[in-house]
């Protein structure tokens, strides 16, 4: 299962890069056309909006998987390694609940919306599908993180300290 998740993570990274390149090409091409020919391709603006939404949620999934999102750790820095694991576990569980609510709302909106893009005619449900896929993937990842945190709670205090020191040394060397 872990190997499958790593493969999906790599695919996600490459897909995010492709989306970014396509968005940059659309925006740069449209800018060029407007500057030199006083006319752009209207459809690209709407497509960039859809691609941006997908890019954001693919990025969220990537960051969620690696646990590299921005965090305020003022409280967790003051407790020991076991307290940090418990804090991470609680935060991950709370986040999974919030993500489940967002996922549920996305499902409802996906089936209720009938709005389409004015120029392309692409349904807005394609954009909402990005929210649905992104939040669902983050929920699955959160379940994996919660499982990892429960495994960490089984370790001794010394082992948790050793792992924390190794992680800190990797960060200082510029690694993950």
pLDDT in tens, 44-98: 989 999 999 999 999 999 999 988 888 888 888 888 888 889 999 999 999 999 9
* pLDDT band, residue 175 (cuts 50/70/90): low
Q: What residues contact residue 75 under an 8 Å CB cut-off, 6+ apart?
A: 87
Q: Which carries the bigger pLDDT value, residue 136 or residue 1?
A: 136
Quote the crossing angle between the two packed helices 2-37 and 42-66, to the nearest 10°. Answer: 150
Of 31-40, 144-153, 162-171, the one with minimum mean pLDDT is 162-171
CA dist 49 and 55 (Å) reads: 10
CA dist 90 and 75 (Å) reads: 13
Per-residue confidence (pLDDT) for residue 86, from 0 to 100: 92
Q: Coil, strand, or helix at residue 75?
A: coil
CA dist 60 and 6 (Å) reads: 15
pTM of the model: 0.85
Per-residue confidence (pLDDT) for residue 161, from 0 to 100: 86
Per-residue confidence (pLDDT) for residue 5, from 0 to 100: 78
Please, what is the average pLDDT of the chain? Answer: 90
What is the pLDDT averaged over residues 107-129?
92
* pLDDT band, residue 39 (cuts 50/70/90): confident
Per-residue confidence (pLDDT) for residue 176, from 0 to 100: 56
Which residue's entry shows tokens 């919306």? 113
Strand partners, 123: 116
């Amino acid at each position: 299962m872990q190997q499958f998740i790593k493969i999906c993570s790599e695919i996600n990274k490459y897909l995010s890069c492709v989306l970014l390149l396509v968005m940059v090409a659309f925006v740069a091409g449209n800018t060029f056309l407007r500057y030199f020919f006083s006319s752009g391709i209207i459809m690209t603006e709407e497509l960039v909006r859809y691609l941006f939404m997908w890019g954001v949620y693919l990025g969220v999934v990537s960051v969620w998987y690696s646990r590299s999102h921005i965090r305020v750790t003022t409280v967790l820095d003051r407790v020991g390694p076991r307290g940090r694991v418990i804090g991470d576990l609680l935060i991950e569980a709370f986040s999974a609940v919030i993500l489940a609510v967002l996922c549920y709302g996305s499902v409802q909106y996906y089936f209720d919306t009938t709005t389409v893009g004015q120029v392309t005619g692409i349904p807005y449900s394609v954009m909402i599908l990005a929210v649905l896929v992104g939040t669902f993937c983050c929920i699955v990842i959160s379940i994996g993180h919660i499982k990892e945190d429960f495994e960490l709670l089984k370790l001794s205090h010394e082992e948790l300290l050793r792992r924390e020191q190794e992680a800190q040394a990797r960060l200082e060397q510029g690694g993950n």
